[in-house]
Homo-oligomer: A and B are copies of this chain.
Amino acid sequence: MRGDLFSPECPTRKLLDRIGTKWMSMAVKVLAEEAGELRFSELRRRMPGVSQKMLSVTLQGMVKDGLVGRRVEPVVPPRVFYRLTPLGLSLDEPLAALREWAEEHMVEIDHANQRYTQDAPGV
């Protein structure tokens, strides 16, 4: 019956809005590979290119969504650890399928783009 997907409060739409952000799905992948806790700084090193602000914002969103758990060791300087919740871990499954598809087929998309571009001489 899934005809009502993508209606106003469509769950798929909301999920896509999340995984479409630049860093969230990468964070899921890195945390899923770790299968345990990672410190903020370690997480950052494993996500090349992420700024400290965006990693912070991304993780806050994921904690709020219940995808990630956050644990603070009250020492100075602070040590903060993140790990996937069971919910977050379950999300890695469909995301892994997406990654596999990308690895197998994105080259075809690249080729299609090249063909398209060279077949359409400068407007």
Give which listed residue, B16, B26, B115, contacts A25 with CB less than 8 A.
B16
Give which listed residue, B5, B14, B16, B98, contacts A12 with CB less than 8 A.
B98
A66 close to chain B: CB less than 8 A: yes
A15 close to chain B: CB less than 8 A: yes
Is B87 a contact of A105 with CB atoms below 8 Å? yes
- Interface residues contributed by chain A, number (CB under 8 Å): 47
Main secondary structure of the interface of A (DSSP, over half): helix
Within 8 A of B (CB), among A25-84: 25-26, 29, 47-49, 63-67
Nearest opposing residue in chain B for A109, CB measure? B65
A35 to chain B, nearest CB (A): 15
- The CA-CA distance from A114 to B111 in the complex, in Å, is 45
Is A91 a contact of B105 with CB atoms below 8 Å? yes
- The CA-CA distance from A112 to B15 in the complex, in Å, is 14
Q: A residues bordering B, Cβ < 8 Å?
A: 2, 5-7, 11-12, 14-17, 19-21, 25-26, 29, 47-49, 63-67, 87, 90-91, 93-95, 97-103, 105-109, 111-113, 115-116
